[in-house]
Amino acid sequence: MEEGLCQNSIPGSGFVDKTRIVEAKPLRSLAPVLPKSLQSSFSGRYPSVFPPFVLFDEPQESQPSPAPMPAPLRSYRNPLDEEEAPHGSNGETSSPMEGLNGNSVDNSQKRAVPPMHSCKYSQKRSKKTKESQFDLSPSVGGISVATREDGDRELVNLVLMTYDSLRRRLCQLEDAKELNTTMAIKRADLRASNAMTVKAFRTNTRRRVGAVPGVEIGDIFFLRMEMCLVGLHGQSMSGIDYMTIKDELQEEPVALSIVSSGVYDNDAEDNDVLIYTGQGENFNKKDKHVIDQKLQRGNLALDRSSRRHNEVRVIRGLRDAANKNAKIYVYDGLYKIQDSWIERGKSGGGVFKYKFVRLPGQSSAFAVWKSVQKWKMSSSTSSRTGIILADLSTGVESIPVSLVNEVDNEKGPSFFTYFHSLRDPKPFSLAQSSYGCNCNKTCVPGDLSCSCIQRNEGDFPYTANGVLVSRKPLVHECGPLCKCFPNCKNRVSQTGLKHQMEVFKTKDRGWGLRSLDPIRAGTFICEYAGEVIDIAKS
């Protein structure tokens, strides 16, 4: 089991200066090994202190331009009128997801701006402009028409990285109340997706049956909007994505991809078989009586695909171990519909059922995920092959750290001791005097009177769920001299492990550390701890 590697250091504890953040890449795939072309193209391009964010440029009609260099988000302005969704003549607000499926977004409708005769109106406009201080307008680089329609692995990673950086920055501004929250789009994930769609900063917009260029089996997505931006699944909410195709005799819809969310007990015992329930509620909300699902839209597309035997992309929606209220999505490869039927649902109405069978010869994804879940849930060590110790930390960590060797008979790393804290044989003192904040209970984003926020250049460094907004050479967390409570959100690195880790034996690189949970970019993994060795004695 080498899928899902996430190498880092062995965690420790105890009071040390926990202001330095060790850079950690996200676990985005069950087999997160970057191709050589991507490694070479990224090497040396990103300064260590820059967050992974790219500004937008107008779509280029010429040859693809080189991937742009990331730049800090805090220096950009954000004109609010460009983000406000246009209103139609019937008074309904346009959907923030308009244009996600390859449709153009019409920005021609703009609200009339009243003349600024009054001082009061002028002050309101100034306040609005001050609340949003980043610009979504183009500046560096873009995506050509060709690469926008058909991408590759590098471009897919670039789009995902840019989206996540923008979303985190928006979350930071929302938490600090620096954004206008009266706008039509309030969620940061939708705002970021809408901004990238308007600027055509996306890829694989050409609708297709089968595999998507640059998206690999086992790739993990933390939000549905990520799948939309890279062309894996074009629907932001619906579980069935389809398109209409024409042949010599007729035109009919065919299914392109489905998202199995697990709401309808879609899983079968065989990991390569999926029993999928059609879309549409089988009860009438208004009259509260049971009705049957209808053979239309997505259901009709699945029915036609079962006759045509075309390939359908399957994405598995799974519970996020780090957040029980959220889901992650794993791309499980190509399937074909082998059978379909109608049965009675729990409420009594007729529902469509489709039997999906995975095409042979594809790398494992969902099967690996299921195996990992069994390892995590098993209370006995006998069911896990190669396990040496169930908890290498001997109970020091709140989450056990297992020791596993599935390669040979070695029983553990030589000369290895698990340190729970940083050990220095010599006493040391800080180069400069330290002081803490005077916040009551917890530090609040946007509170510039907080000395810890001031030391972080005026920004709260983490989002509400403890994710680092952008990479910095130094992040100041609250310490023992601060008056805020231990559960302050600016003490992320002091709360210990949040993901299940294990030390494992590799085939040709000794012992390593990996996670059994997917990890978001910017998430704290563990503290870099060990014994400090004097240079003279080394």
Beta bridge partners of 255: 242
- Strand segments, DSSP code E, in 37-146 are none
Q: How far apart are CA 527 and CA 496, in angstroms?
A: 8
490 close to 502: Cβ distance less than 8 angstroms: no
- What does the DSSP 8-state code read for residue 59? P
DSSP state at residue 367: H
Q: Structure tokens of 378?
A: 């098993």
Cβ 524 vs Cβ 490: under 8 Å: no
CB 201 within 8 A of CB 212: no
- 3-class DSSP state for residue 421? strand
Q: By three-state DSSP, how is residue 241 classified?
A: strand
> Would you state the structure tokens that stand for residue 499, as one six-digit string?
């993901």
In what helix (H) or strand (E) does residue 195 lie, and over which residues does it extend?
helix 188-198
Query: Is the CB of residue 18 less than 8 Å from the CB of residue 494?
Result: yes
Alpha helices in 388-506 (DSSP H): 451-455
**Higher-confidence residue: 241 or 268?**
241
Beta strands in 17-83 (DSSP E): none
pLDDT band at 76 (very low <50, low <70, confident <90, very high): very low
* Nearest Cα to Cα of residue 366 among 277, 274, 238, 241: 274
> Does 233 or 496 have the greater pLDDT score?
233
* Integer Cα distance of 4 and 32 in angstroms: 6
The pTM for the full model equals: 0.72
pLDDT band at 179 (very low <50, low <70, confident <90, very high): confident
> Which backbone phi and psi does 242 adopt, to 5 degrees?
-150, 165
Give the E-state strand segments of 114-248 in sequence order. Answer: 220-221, 240-246
What's the rounded Cα separation, in Å, for the pair 138 and 119? Answer: 32
In angstroms and rounded to an integer, the radius of gyration of the C-alpha atoms of the chain is: 26
Tell me the pLDDT tens digit for each residue of 184-226: 667 899 999 999 999 899 999 999 999 999 999 999 999 999 9
Element (H, E) at 127: helix 119-131
| Of residues 59 and 197, more confidently modeled | 197
| Rounded Cα–Cα distance for residues 450 and 524 (Å) | 23
Give the pairing of strands 387-389 and 350-358: unpaired
Write the secondary structure of 331-364 as one string of H (helix), E (strand) and C (coil): EEEEEEEEEEEEEECCCCCEEEEEEEEECCCCCC
Given a cut of 60, is residue 361 above it in pLDDT? yes
What is the mean predicted confidence (pLDDT) over 105-134? 39
- Both structure tokens of 58: 């107008």
Query: Which pLDDT band, with edges at 50, 70 and 90, does 30 fall under?
Result: low
First to last CA, the chain: 35
Which pLDDT band holds residue 46 (cuts at 50, 70, 90)? very low
